[in-house]
Chains A and B, each alone.
Chain A
Amino acid sequence: MTTIASIFTEPYWSPYAVGIGIGILSWLSFLISGKPIATSTSFAQTGGMIENIITGGKADKRPYYKKIKLKINWQWMLVVGVVLGSFLSAIISGDFQVGVWVPSLWASAFGDSALLRVFVAVVGGVILGFGARFGDGCTSGHGISGTLQLAVSSWVSAILFFIGGIITAHVIYFVIA
């Protein structure tokens, strides 16, 4: 039987319910905080903060970090919130993963070596992080928040995310594998 509580303990919702929910969240984010939902700048700020800790403030001198400002702000807290929100949903729906290093799709093509998967994830992360800053946005900032405002820069970016992603995924799974 579906009750209010069981909706929240359900591991999956319809993608349309989720999408409409994110759309409504974007209204509230604009209305209350005056900002679009975005995430990738926070990773760059974190990278700069780590450099500051290691080198004793060297990152503060870099022009890019002066531009984005190395401090914990609204968006940085939003990213922390995403971790917590996903954790909450996973826990209450019994979907929290313990000890999973290798996604099953990856394992089906490349085996279950955790070392290989982590190595590839680091490489992919470097490319992704670099690309997100080069293109000034990610799947949230450009792909959802920018496109819904009908920004030209965001539609160009979002389309190229998928062109690059679709080609690369096919190379990985049909050429390399």
Chain B
Amino acid sequence: METKKQGSKTRQEEDRRPLFFGLGFGILFGFLLHKGGATKYDVIVGQLLLTDYTVLKIMLSAIVTGMIGIYLMKSMGWIKLSIKSGSVGKNVIGGLIFGVGFAVLGYCPGTIAGAIGNGYLDAIVGGLAGILLGTWIFAVIYPKLKDGILKKGDFGDITFPRLFKVNDWVVVVPAAVLIILILVWLERAGF
């Protein structure tokens, strides 16, 4: 109730603070992506060729760290989750198309912003223009897709704990253990 009130108040005042927070989080995110090497084509495509596991190590350690903290804060009532609703048509087909583009371009939307900051000209001149064009093509044909393929096999904004109808921690703890075991195995195997 209280948060709702605050929300409408900030909207009326056209609060600009969120823009500065967004910028600040972005600077930290970009800084980290560069330090991890994730702003480089060779590192990203090396992951997809299964010769360089940097990207997977970054993602899995971010997921395990983020997940524990987010679910702790959720159980304290500090935050609310923000779950995207999904469908087979949207996530399976969209995911595959994205994957193809990911390998052909060698950057993704977040890392291309990082690659631009890192100075890579193929990202600035080629990749950015391509991504903008691709999103525009989607916007143009969206009316034809939105009630068809994008709704096929709709499963809504569900999480694994809700899908299995269990307490959050029944999923969080095994998921964290599993991810850590995968990371330990990757290191032991010399990747």
Q: Residues of A with Cβ closer than 8 Å to B?
A: 10-13, 15-37, 39-40, 42-44, 46-48, 50-51, 59, 62-65, 72-90, 93, 95-106, 114, 117-170, 172-173
Contacts and interface: CB of A to CB of B under 8 A. Distances in A.
Interface of B: 18-42, 45-46, 48-50, 54, 57-67, 69-70, 73, 78-88, 90-123, 125-140, 142-143, 145-146, 150, 155, 157-161, 163, 168, 171-172, 175, 183
B96 A163 contact: yes
B62 A142 contact: no
B63 A144 contact: yes
B36 A13 contact: yes
B172 to A, nearest CB: 7
B99 A160 contact: yes
Contact residues of B: prevailing secondary structure: helix
Q: Which 9 A-B pairs have the closest CB atoms?
A: A81-B26, A125-B130, A164-B99, A135-B94, A153-B86, A23-B65, A129-B134, A85-B30, A19-B61
Contacts of A79: 26, 109-110, 113
B114 A131 contact: no
A34 to B, nearest CB: 7
A101 B86 contact: no
B95 A65 contact: no
